Amino acid sequence: MAEAPKIDPMHQFLIHKIWEGPQFDVGPIHFDMSITNSVGAMLIGAGLLVAFFMLTARQKVVPDRGQAVAEAFYGMVDKSLVTPIIGPHGRPYIPYLFTLFCTIFILNLMGVVLSVGSLAGQTWTFTVTSQLAITATLAVLTFFSVFILGFIKHGPKFLTLFWIPGMGVIGGALMVVIEMISYFVRPVTLAMRLFGNMMGGHVVLSLFGSFVVGLGLFAFSELGLNTLAIIPATLSFSMIVALTGLELVVAFLQAFVFTVLATVYLNEVVNFGHGH
């Protein structure tokens, strides 16, 4: 009887080196310039983005399909996010928000489309946004960029964002603490939401993939009642197809939600002190 391979659904998230680079120390800090599977996936994602926009930035009067897709994404960030949430003063920040959306979306999409490389114990693909270090970096970069921008534009007055009028001195002081905690927890929620959705989806896909492989090997190991195992194997494969479609939707939605929240945080800075 053929032995089913041992499947570890968490193995796909392990980082390993694919190219040994130079290593050196700068004071107490150690630098390792090796290329890992995570770095490799990010380089591929960046290359795909650059290639896509180089090929679609034609500015044709009648756009082809590629240009139409690029313009649709840009129009979504501009007309569906920045203009309704921030208003005309938000246009200088469209390039950052558009880059943020495209980066997260392409990395999510690569993780889903190439997830077959993580089935049956394989490790030749990697989902970058399933790593908390990556999503936390994006969240912290976005959050503190907005926070620093608030001080640049408004100075110390920006701290009044945490003060709720009409609460009195004691009540106001307590609310300042609560408001600051809720404000500075934002990068945590940003990072965890993206990380949790991408990691959870890939774990489920890997589990159903292991069912397909294990039950399939059992079904064809010998004739008899074993062949009935092809039924749950087929059902597991159908679940993989359905979940892959769902993950494609999630890949877009998570990039969109991340960008929406970044836009909302920018609105507090750009339209500070008055409603929009």
Residues 225-241, mean pLDDT to the nearest whole number? 78
Name residue 32's beta-bridge partners: 23
Check whether 102 has a pLDDT greater than 90: yes
Name residue 19's beta-bridge partners: 35
Q: Whole-number mean pLDDT of the chain?
A: 83
The count of C-alpha atoms lying within 13 angstroms of the C-alpha of 23, restricted to the half-sphere facing its C-beta, is: 7
Map out the domains of the chain as residue ranges.
37-270
Band of residue 242 on the pLDDT scale cut at 50, 70, 90: confident
Check whether 122 has a pLDDT greater than 60: no
3-state helix, strand, coil in the chain (%, to 5): 75, 5, 20
pLDDT value at residue 118:
56
Q: How many CB atoms lie within 10 A of CB 45?
A: 22
pLDDT value at residue 97:
95
Of the candidates 68, 59, 198, the one whose C-alpha atom is nearest the C-alpha of residue 126 is 198
Pairing of strands 23-26, 29-32: antiparallel
For residue 53, the one-letter residue type is: F
Exposed/middle/buried for residue 18 (C-beta within 10 Å: 0-12, 13-18, 19+):
middle
Q: What are residue 20's phi and psi, to 5 degrees?
A: -80, 115
Contacts of 59 by beta carbon, 8 Å cutoff, 6+ apart: 67
**pTM across the whole model:** 0.85
pLDDT value at residue 264:
93
Give 46-101 pLDDT, tens digit per residue.
999 999 988 887 776 677 788 888 889 999 999 999 999 998 888 999 999 999 99
pLDDT value at residue 229:
74
Q: How many CB atoms lie within 10 A of CB 265?
A: 21
Rounded Cα gap, residues 89 and 84, in angstroms: 11
Q: How many CB atoms lie within 10 A of CB 183?
A: 14
Q: What are residue 256's phi and psi, to 5 degrees?
A: -65, -45
Name which of 2-6, 28-32, 65-69, 209-213 the model is least confident about.
Answer: 2-6
Band of residue 223 on the pLDDT scale cut at 50, 70, 90: low
For residue 234, the one-letter residue type is: T
Band of residue 276 on the pLDDT scale cut at 50, 70, 90: very low
Unique residue bearing structure tokens 């064809």: 220
